[in-house]
Structure formats: C-alpha cells, structure tokens
Structure 1
Amino acid sequence: MSTISPQHALIYIMVTMSAVDRAMSDNELQEIGNIVKTLPIFSDFSEEKLIPVARECASILQEDGGLDAVFGLAKDALPHHLRETGYAVAVEVASADMSVKAEELRLLQMLREALGVDKLTAAAIERGARARHMTE
C-alpha cells in the first residue's frame, strides 16, 4: 500500500520537474495549477491542498536521497495505467518555458526509467507536448 495518493504522486512529479534547475518559473507554476484544475485525475482533489503537497515534496527533495525517495513514492502510488500520466505531466511542466534544459531532459530520462514508460510511448508524449506548445 502506498503512503501517498496518486494525485499527490503527480504533484510530486511536477514539483520535482519544476525544481530540477533550481528555479521554479512562473510559467511552470501556472502549468502545474492548470493541470490540477483540468485533468480528470484531480476532479476530487481540493486545489487548496496543492501548496501543502508541493511543500511536502520540496521537503523530501531537500533530504539526502530525496530524488530517489520522491520517485519511489510516485512509482508506488501510481497504478500502472497512471504512470504514463506521470510522465506526461512532467513533460508538460518541462515544456512550460518553451525550452527544455539539459537537467530537465536528464530528469525526464530518470523518471521514464523509474516509472517504466517505454521509449516509444515517451516519444509520443514528448511530441504531443511539443505540438501543443508551438508558436509558429
């Protein structure tokens, strides 16, 4: 049995992605809020819990081995059918600034491996995000 809910796991993933470059941008934070407001998985999640859950994640990330702990909690909390959703929300947050940095790419690779998302599925998710964020 998991110690966090699937919704918490998805928020942990998004916060981790936003924080990987040590700068949580306004665009990334806005994207996290939009995802929580619009994805069906969050339909019974109170938006007022977003900040406390994000702080929980930040606290875990501050500890030694925090990244591994967050990934482990997320994997345990997400049923197999929601692991692609976990990867997809990470990609959306990474894409929010219209560019994906090297540390974000590395974290996506680590997340993909931790959640067991195959490369073809990951590529499709990434391509979809790229298409949604095109400006010209």
Structure 2
Amino acid sequence: MDKATGSTVSPQEALIYAMVTLSAVDKQMTDRELRKIGDVVNTLPIFGGFDTDRLIKIAEACAAITREDDGLHAILATIATSLPKKLHETAYALAVEVAAADLHVEQEELRFLELLRDVLDVDSLTAAAIERGARARHRTL
C-alpha cells in the first residue's frame, strides 16, 4: 500500500495512470493523445484481458487525484508502488508514446517524464533509447 495516497491500483491501471497523467499535465488532453492511449490499451499484450469499458473510469479517477494537493506526487507514488520492477520501463515507454503522439512535447510533459523516470528508477541510457525509438516512430516527412 502506498503511504502517500493510501492506495494501490492494478499494474494495468498504473500504466494507464502514467499515460493519462502525461497527457493531462499540460492542462490539455489532445485528441491525438487520447487516441494513442486507446490504441495502446486496445493493442498491447500487457493489456490482454483488460476491460476497455473501464478506461474512462480509470482516467477520471487519475484526473481526480491530480487535482488534489500534491496530486502529481501522489500519482507518481501510486504508479511506483503498483508496478512490479519489470514494468517500470514499460510505464516510461508508454508515457513517452503519449507525449510523442502530438509531435511536440510541452515543458510540463518533459518535467513529468523526468519525475516518472526518477520514481521508477529508469536509467538514463534506457530512457534515451526509449525516447529515440519514439522519435523514430513518430517522425513525419
């Protein structure tokens, strides 16, 4: 159980929290970001068996926490305590994918990625590889 928030969520919910928080941290969730979250949840094996009808409810719960005092840190703590170590890089990669969906990353999003990297203990070389891969996948002509 997370001491900062008093709760934990399932690993799938924690991954969704990482994506939703990245999208919302700059105060605007774009259609591209929302589509990317939906695509990720509908296609990646980590979400196999996940009830996609719950996605909106989970996103709303995440948003409610972010509006609380120190909500961002509570979300980060919940993500960290809810994910097994083997999914830390996955959470970071999914957040980067959502950030890259708009083809422009805002300062607030960069700061959130930095905080997420720190709380999940994703090393700088791994983070750079994840970020480079996302840039390559989202590059335009």
% identical aligned pairs: 60
Question: What is the TM-score normalised by the length of structure 1?
Answer: 0.97
Structure 2: stretches of 5+ with no match in the other structure = 2-6
Could you tell me which residue of structure 1 aligns to residue 19 of structure 2? 14
Is 1:88–2:93 an aligned residue pair? yes
Give the alignment's Cα RMSD to 1 decimal: 0.9
Could you tell me which residue of structure 2 aligns to residue 121 of structure 1? 126
Could you tell me which residue of structure 2 aligns to residue 29 of structure 1? 34
Choose which of 49, 62, 73 in structure 2 pairs with 1:57: 62
Could you tell me which residue of structure 2 aligns to residue 48 of structure 1? 53
Structure 1 residue 3, shift from structure 2 partner: 2.1
Structure 1 residue 108, shift from structure 2 partner: 0.6
Residue 50 of structure 2: SS of its match in structure 1? coil
Measured in 2, the distance between the counterparts of 1:19 and 1:58 equals: 8
Structure 1 residue 58, shift from structure 2 partner: 0.5
* Deviation per residue, 1:65-91 (Å, 9 max, x gap): 111111111101110010000000100
- Runs of 4+ aligned residues of structure 1 deviating over 2 Å after TM superposition are none
Which amino acid in the other structure matches residue 47 of structure 2?
F
Structure 1: stretches of 5+ with no match in the other structure = none
* Deviation per residue, 1:78-128 (Å, 9 max, x gap): 100100000001000000000111111111111100110000000000000
Q: How many residues align?
A: 136
Could you tell me which residue of structure 2 aligns to residue 79 of structure 1? 84
